Amino acid sequence: MSSLLEPIVVGGKLPLRNRVGMGALTRNRCVNDLKPGPAQVKHYSERARDGTGLIVNEGTLIDWTGTDWKYTPVMINDDHAGAWKKVVAAVHEEGGTIFFQAWHVGRIQNENMPIMKETKTPVLAPSAIQAEGGKYRELPGAPGHSNNITVIEDPRDVVEMYRRAVQLAKNAGFDGVEFLAQGGYLPHQFLCSRANMRTDAYGGSVENRCRFILEVVDAIEQVYSGYEYICVKLCPADFLNDSVVTFEEMKQTYSYLLKELVKRRVGIINLSRRGIELSTQTGNSSTIDCRPEGFPLPPGYDPVLDFGPLVKYPGSPSLLMVNHDYTPEEADELIRAGKIDLVSFGRPFIFNPDVISRIRHNIPFAENCRGNEVFYGPYSVEDENYNDWPAAKV
Ligand SMILES: Cc1cc2nc3c(=O)[nH]c(=O)nc-3n(C[C@H](O)[C@H](O)[C@H](O)COP(=O)(O)O)c2cc1C
């Protein structure tokens, strides 16, 4: 039997049926006022019914924002929490466990998006440095990310936004929270010296640049009464959304941050290896970006193997989950070698409602045979390319 199917307990408190996580997947299908509906209930509960160990819901914005992703859910009021409550209940009905992914995009947005105008929400970021890239197809001329940035005066105000959203997530019944701190989004902007030019206690030194993330983690702990219910998603070698940093900066930043998170006894660190050259590319990628020039990594470098021992060592209170282009076979070997505790699959969960059954019966994952529209649309009904993928015949 694959070691992926063995149960595990997070922080001595939260039992999981197995070591397979479903990664957060933005699918642009919350068409009813940015809330989930029957399509999401079906999608998540099917994956729970098949036995997924830990589901993380799609990235959910904790503030009104106008992102490139239409119909991305938000968690701002009781109405939003009430809609998610139905999804969570359906997952629990199937014996599943589901975390809420807290997302704030920071400067990765455009202030001319209608929702931001309607809600009078500014583009917030640690510093007024425009991010390269972006393409807001909804706006005339498809502009990039905003150059009209409001510098966050007191980051503790944004910590409170996270606290509010996480409290709503707890009210909805979510079993814990995955804090999205990669991908060039707001928490990541505090980490990167290229995006953070602050001269106060949240900028400058490594300790200061990590402060925001640690304060959000502490706020989530206060809501959930335990660091065990927190997963932090990090990608040291990331380059998405103008987030790349030098190898030296990466080493310093993540050595400190990971030690601080483990010191707090955070339940799970979800470490991505995006940003390195991979020989196992599945060809299912929805992005065609590659690492920018001028920020080389040592040949063969793997951040999961490099930073993993800071999280996974005898007696560690935290579990190490990994993601990005893993196969069940590679993850099984890493678990048996004592290098990781859990694996998270993203794209395979889109095309396979039965990831766990396939692992159990040694059936290869189905791949995407329908083109790039399956990821973010367009679609004629929400279920299209969402709830219509066949399970394998066992
Ligand atoms: C369509 C799509 C949407 C995604 N949305 C999110 C998201 O909302 N939050 C997040 O942290 N990661 C998101 N990801 C990344 C996945 O969670 C996962 O980390 C990544 O796909 C790598 O895993 P994989 O190689 O098994 O696909 C997304 C990926 C895809 C393909």
Q: pLDDT tier at 65 (50, 70, 90 boundaries)?
A: confident
Q: How far is the CA of 309 from the centre of ligand 1 (A)?
A: 24
Spatial separation of the C-alpha atoms in residues 106 and 187, rounded to whole Å: 8
Mean pLDDT of 327-355: 98
Check residues 101 and 299 and name the one with the higher pLDDT. 101
Q: Is the pLDDT of residue 334 over 60?
A: yes
Q: What pLDDT does residue 277 have?
A: 67
Q: What pLDDT does residue 82 have?
A: 98
pLDDT, tens digit (0-9, with 9 covering 90-100), for 76-108: 999 999 999 999 999 999 999 999 999 999 999
Q: Is the pLDDT of residue 282 over 60?
A: no
Mean pLDDT of 109-124: 92
Domains of the chain: 3-361 (3.20.20.70)
Which residue's alpha carbon is at the smallest distance from atom 6 of ligand 1?
A: 25
Q: What pLDDT does residue 288 have?
A: 38
Q: pLDDT tier at 9 (50, 70, 90 boundaries)?
A: very high
C-alpha triplet 99, 1, 391: angle, nearest 5°: 60
Q: What pLDDT does residue 290 have?
A: 75
Q: What pLDDT does residue 278 have?
A: 58
Tell me the pLDDT of the chain averaged across its residues.
95
Q: How far is the CA of 355 from the centre of ligand 1 (A)?
A: 16
pLDDT, tens digit (0-9, with 9 covering 90-100), for 162-219: 999 999 999 999 999 999 999 999 999 999 999 999 999 999 999 999 999 999 999 9
One-letter identity of residue 140: P
Binding site membership of 273 for ligand 1 (Cβ less than 6 Å):
no
Check residues 224 and 278 and name the one with the higher pLDDT. 224
Q: pLDDT tier at 354 (50, 70, 90 boundaries)?
A: very high
Record the pTM.
Answer: 0.97
Q: Is the pLDDT of residue 280 over 90?
A: no
Q: What pLDDT does residue 392 have?
A: 98
Q: How far is the CA of 25 from the centre of ligand 1 (A)?
A: 5
Q: What pLDDT does residue 68 have?
A: 72
User: Taking the mean position of all CA atoms in its chain, how far away is CA 273?
Assistant: 13
Q: Is the pLDDT of residue 112 over 50?
A: yes
Q: pLDDT tier at 279 (50, 70, 90 boundaries)?
A: very low
Q: What pLDDT does residue 322 have?
A: 98
Q: Which of 44, 162, 185, 326 is catalytic?
A: 185
Binding site membership of 104 for ligand 1 (Cβ less than 6 Å):
no
Binding site membership of 345 for ligand 1 (Cβ less than 6 Å):
yes
Q: pLDDT tier at 300 (50, 70, 90 boundaries)?
A: very high
116-120, 146-150, 344-348, 369-373: lowest mean pLDDT where?
A: 116-120
Q: What pLDDT does residue 281 have?
A: 41
Spatial separation of the C-alpha atoms in residues 375 and 326, rounded to whole Å: 19
| 301 flagged as catalytic | no
Q: Is the pLDDT of residue 283 over 50?
A: no
Residue from 4, 25, 56 to probe ligand 1 pocket by mutation (most atoms less than 8 Å from CB): 25
